[in-house]
A and B are shown apart, each in its own frame.
Chain A
Amino acid sequence: MTTKKKWTVIPGFLALAAAATLLSAYSGASSSQGKVVEQPIKFIHNPHVEKVGMNCLYCHSQANKAMDPGNASVATCMGCHTLVKTDSPEIQKLTEYWNKKEPIPWNRVHKVPDYVQFPHMRHVNAGVTCQTCHGEIQKQGAAGVGEGYKPVEQAASLNMGWCINCHVQGYNPAEGARLAGLPDSVVQALKNEPVKKARYDCAVCHY
Chain B
Amino acid sequence: MSTEAGSGVKRRDFLKILGATGATTAVVGCSSEKVGKLIPYVSSPDNTVAGVSQFYATTCKECATGCGVLAEVRDGRPIKLEGNPAHPVNRGAICATGMSAMQGLYNPDRYRQPMLRENGTLTPVTWDRALEVLGQKLGEVKSRGGASEAVFLNAHETGSFPGFLDQWLAAQGMPAHLSVDTMAPAATIAANRSAYGAAWPALDFNAASLIVSFSADFLDAWGHKVPQQLGWADARAKLEGAPKLVYIGARRSLTGLNADQWIPAKPGSEMAICAAILGQGSTADAAAAADVPEATITALVAAVKGAGSGLMALCGITTPDAVDCGRMVADMNKANGSVGTTIKPAEAHVGYEGLASHLDVVAAVERMAAGSVPVAFVRNVNPAHTMPANAGFAEAFAKVGFKVSFSSYPDETSELCDLILPDNHWLESWGDAMAGAGQRSLQQPTLDPVFDTRSTADVLITAARADGTIASRFPQADYRTWLTANFNGGAAAFAAALTQPSVSGSPVVSRASRTATSRAASTPAGEGTMHVVVYPSATLGDGVGANKPWLQELPDPVTKIAWQSWVEIHPKTAKEMGVKEGDHLTVKTAAGEITAPAYPYMGVRPDTVAVALGQGHTAYGRFAKDVGVNAYRLVANGWDSAGNLALGGMGTVTRTGDHSPLVTTEGSARQHGRKIAQAMMAAALAGPDEEHGHHDIAGLVSQEYLPGLKSPVAADAQGEMANPLSKDKGMYNPEHPTKAEARRWAMTIDLARCTGCSACVTACYSENNIPTVGASYQGRALSPVTWDERPGANILKGREMAWIRLERYYEGNTNTENEFSPDFEARFVPMMCQHCGNAPCEPVCPVYATYHSPDGLNVQVYNRCVGTRYCSNNCPYKVRYYNWFGYGEPERRQYAWPEPMHWMLNPDVTVRGKGVMEKCTFCVQRIREGENRARSEERDLNPDEFTTACAQACPSRAIVFGDAADENWSVAKLAYDRRAYHVFEELNTYTAVVYLKKVNHPAPAAPATA
Instruction: Mark interface residues in A31-70 (1 if CB within 8 Å of B CB, else 0).
Output: 0100101000000000000000000000000100111101
Is B447 on the interface with A (CB-CB < 8 A)? no
Q: Check if B932 sits within 8 Å of A121, measured CB to CB.
A: yes
Q: How many angstroms from the CA of A67 to the CA of B910 in the assembled complex? A: 15
Which of B37-45, B561-569, B612-620 touches A?
B37-45
CB-contacts of A98-123 with B (<8 A): 98, 101-108, 111, 113-115, 117, 119, 121-122
Is A182 on the interface with B (CB-CB < 8 A)? no
Residues A117 and B738 in contact in the complex (CB < 8 Å), given A125-B936, A199-B731:
no
Q: How many angstroms from the CA of A107 to the CA of B38 in the assembled complex? A: 6
Residues A206 and B862 in contact in the complex (CB < 8 Å), given A65-B52, A114-B910:
yes
Q: How many angstroms from the CA of A62 to the CA of B909 in the assembled complex? A: 20
Q: Looking at the assembled complex, report how far the CB atom of B386 sits from the nearest CB atom of chain A, in whole angstroms.
A: 42
List 8 A-B pairs, minimum CB-CB distance, nearest first. Answer: A12-B15, A68-B51, A75-B43, A108-B36, A73-B41, A203-B859, A106-B38, A8-B8
Which B residues are in CB contact (< 8 Å) with A28? 30
Q: Check if A19 sits within 8 Å of B22, measured CB to CB.
A: yes
Residues A207 and B41 in contact in the complex (CB < 8 Å), given A23-B27, A201-B853, A202-B851:
no
Which A residues are in CB contact (< 8 Å) with B33? 32, 35
Is A142 on the interface with B (CB-CB < 8 A)? no
Q: Looking at the assembled complex, report how far the CB atom of B131 sits from the nearest CB atom of chain A, in whole angstroms.
A: 28
Is B863 on the interface with A (CB-CB < 8 A)? yes
Instruction: Mark interface residues in B123-163 (1 if CB within 8 Å of A CB, else 0).
Output: 00000000000000000000000000000000000000000
Q: Check if B15 sits within 8 Å of A16, measured CB to CB.
A: yes
Q: Check if B853 sits within 8 Å of A202, measured CB to CB.
A: yes
Q: Check if B40 sits within 8 Å of A65, measured CB to CB.
A: no
Is A2 on the interface with B (CB-CB < 8 A)? yes
Instruction: Mark interface residues in B710-750 (1 if CB within 8 Å of A CB, else 0).
Output: 00000000000000000000110000111010000000000
Q: Check if A102 sits within 8 Å of B15, measured CB to CB.
A: no
Is B672 on the interface with A (CB-CB < 8 A)? no
Instruction: Mark interface residues in B848-889 (1 if CB within 8 Å of A CB, else 0).
Output: 000101100101011110000000000000000000000000
Q: Looking at the assembled complex, report how far the CB atom of B152 sits from the nearest CB atom of chain A, in whole angstroms.
A: 41
A-B contact pairs, 12 of them (CB 8 A): A2-B3, A15-B15, A29-B29, A32-B33, A37-B35, A105-B37, A108-B38, A121-B932, A203-B924, A206-B910, A207-B910, A207-B924
Is A143 on the interface with B (CB-CB < 8 A)? no
Residues A107 and B30 in contact in the complex (CB < 8 Å), given A19-B19, A115-B863, A199-B740:
no
Residues A106 and B39 in contact in the complex (CB < 8 Å), given A73-B44, A202-B851:
yes
Q: How many angstroms from the CA of A108 to the CA of B864 in the assembled complex? A: 26
Q: How many angstroms from the CA of A202 to the CA of B853 in the assembled complex? A: 8
Which B residues are in CB contact (< 8 Å) with A70? 49-50
Residues A65 and B49 in contact in the complex (CB < 8 Å), given A19-B22, A115-B863, A117-B908:
yes
Instruction: Mark interface residues in A186-203 (1 if CB within 8 Å of B CB, else 0).
Output: 000000000001111111
Which A residues are in CB contact (< 8 Å) with B862? 115, 206
Which A residues are in CB contact (< 8 Å) with B925? 117, 207
Q: Check if A206 sits within 8 Å of B861, measured CB to CB.
A: yes
Indicate which residue in B12, B19, B738 contacts A198 across the interface (CB closer than 8 Å). Answer: B738
Q: Check if B731 sits within 8 Å of A200, measured CB to CB.
A: yes
Is A163 on the interface with B (CB-CB < 8 A)? no
Which B residues are in CB contact (< 8 Å) with A104? 39-40
Q: Check if A66 sits within 8 Å of B19, measured CB to CB.
A: no
Residues A75 and B44 in contact in the complex (CB < 8 Å), given A23-B27, A202-B851, A203-B924:
yes
Q: Check if B50 sits within 8 Å of A105, measured CB to CB.
A: no
Q: Looking at the assembled complex, report how far the CB atom of B45 sits from the nearest CB atom of chain A, in whole angstroms.
A: 9
Is A27 on the interface with B (CB-CB < 8 A)? yes
Is B781 on the interface with A (CB-CB < 8 A)? no
Q: A114-B910, A119-B932, A200-B730 are known contacts; what are 14 more A-B pairs with Cβ within 8 Å?
A: A19-B22, A29-B30, A62-B50, A65-B49, A67-B52, A103-B42, A106-B38, A106-B40, A108-B36, A108-B38, A200-B731, A201-B853, A203-B857, A207-B928
CB-contacts of A1-37 with B (<8 A): 2, 4-5, 8-9, 12-13, 15-16, 19-20, 23-24, 27-29, 32, 35, 37
* Chain B residue nearest in CB terms to A28: B30
Q: Looking at the assembled complex, report how far the CB atom of A202 sits from the nearest CB atom of chain B, in whole angstroms.
A: 4
Which A residues are in CB contact (< 8 Å) with B50? 62, 66, 68, 70
Is B797 on the interface with A (CB-CB < 8 A)? no
Indicate which residue in A27, A66, A206 contacts B52 across the interface (CB closer than 8 Å). Answer: A66
Which B residues are in CB contact (< 8 Å) with A202? 851, 853, 859, 861, 864
Q: How many angstroms from the CA of A76 to the CA of B23 in the assembled complex? A: 46
Q: Check if B37 sits within 8 Å of A107, measured CB to CB.
A: yes
CB-contacts of B924-977 with A (<8 A): 924-925, 928, 932, 935-936
Residues A23 and B41 in contact in the complex (CB < 8 Å), given A68-B51, A115-B910, A202-B864:
no
Which A residues are in CB contact (< 8 Å) with B924? 203, 207
Is A72 on the interface with B (CB-CB < 8 A)? yes
Q: Looking at the assembled complex, report how far the CB atom of A79 sits from the nearest CB atom of chain B, in whole angstroms.
A: 10
* Chain A residue nearest in CB terms to B933: A121
CB-contacts of B17-61 with A (<8 A): 18-19, 22-23, 26-27, 29-30, 33, 35-44, 49-52
Residues A117 and B928 in contact in the complex (CB < 8 Å), given A5-B8, A202-B851, A206-B861:
yes
Which B residues are in CB contact (< 8 Å) with A203? 853, 857, 859, 861, 921, 924
* Chain A residue nearest in CB terms to B718: A201
Residues A4 and B18 in contact in the complex (CB < 8 Å), given A37-B35, A73-B43:
no
Is B11 on the interface with A (CB-CB < 8 A)? yes
Instruction: Mark interface residues in A163-207 (1 if CB within 8 Å of B CB, else 0).
Output: 000000000000000000000000000000000011111111011
Which B residues are in CB contact (< 8 Å) with A200? 730-731
* Chain A residue nearest in CB terms to B863: A115
Which A residues are in CB contact (< 8 Å) with B851? 201-202
Is B396 on the interface with A (CB-CB < 8 A)? no
Q: Check if A103 sits within 8 Å of B8, measured CB to CB.
A: no
Is A159 on the interface with B (CB-CB < 8 A)? no
Instruction: Mark interface residues in A68-110 (1 if CB within 8 Å of B CB, else 0).
Output: 1011111110000000000000000000001001111111100
Is B911 on the interface with A (CB-CB < 8 A)? yes
Q: How many angstroms from the CA of A75 to the CA of B46 in the assembled complex? A: 13
Which B residues are in CB contact (< 8 Å) with A122? 932, 935
Q: Check if A201 sits within 8 Å of B740, measured CB to CB.
A: yes
Q: Check if B731 sits within 8 Å of A74, measured CB to CB.
A: no
* Chain B residue nearest in CB terms to A71: B40
Q: How many angstroms from the CA of A204 to the CA of B730 in the assembled complex? A: 15
Which B residues are in CB contact (< 8 Å) with A35? 33
* Chain B residue nearest in CB terms to A5: B8
Q: Check if A207 sits within 8 Å of B921, measured CB to CB.
A: yes
Q: How many angstroms from the CA of A12 to the CA of B12 in the assembled complex? A: 7
Q: Check if B42 sits within 8 Å of A101, measured CB to CB.
A: yes
Counting chain A CB atoms within 10 Å of each CB, the highest count among B8, B23, B30, B42 belongs to: B42
Residues A20 and B49 in contact in the complex (CB < 8 Å), given A75-B44, A114-B911:
no
Q: Looking at the assembled complex, report how far the CB atom of B113 sits from the nearest CB atom of chain A, in whole angstroms.
A: 25
Q: Check if A73 sits within 8 Å of B40, measured CB to CB.
A: yes
Q: Looking at the assembled complex, report how far the CB atom of A140 sits from the nearest CB atom of chain B, in whole angstroms.
A: 15
* Chain A residue nearest in CB terms to B916: A115
Q: How many angstroms from the CA of A68 to the CA of B53 in the assembled complex? A: 12
* Chain B residue nearest in CB terms to A194: B737
Q: How many angstroms from the CA of A104 to the CA of B40 in the assembled complex? A: 7
Residues A111 and B36 in contact in the complex (CB < 8 Å), given A16-B15, A19-B19, A119-B932:
yes
Q: Check if A74 sits within 8 Å of B40, measured CB to CB.
A: yes
Which A residues are in CB contact (< 8 Å) with B44? 73, 75-76
Q: Check if A20 sits within 8 Å of B22, measured CB to CB.
A: yes
Q: How many angstroms from the CA of A101 to the CA of B40 in the assembled complex? A: 12
Q: Looking at the assembled complex, report how far the CB atom of B281 sits from the nearest CB atom of chain A, in whole angstroms.
A: 63
Q: Check if A125 sits within 8 Å of B935, measured CB to CB.
A: yes
Q: How many angstroms from the CA of A70 to the CA of B52 in the assembled complex? A: 11
Which B residues are in CB contact (< 8 Å) with A102? 42
Which A residues are in CB contact (< 8 Å) with B854? 199, 201
Q: Check if B737 sits within 8 Å of A197, measured CB to CB.
A: yes
Q: Looking at the assembled complex, report how far the CB atom of B103 sits from the nearest CB atom of chain A, in whole angstroms.
A: 22
Q: How many angstroms from the CA of A104 to the CA of B11 in the assembled complex? A: 52
Counting chain A CB atoms within 10 Å of each CB, the highest count among B26, B736, B854, B908 belongs to: B26
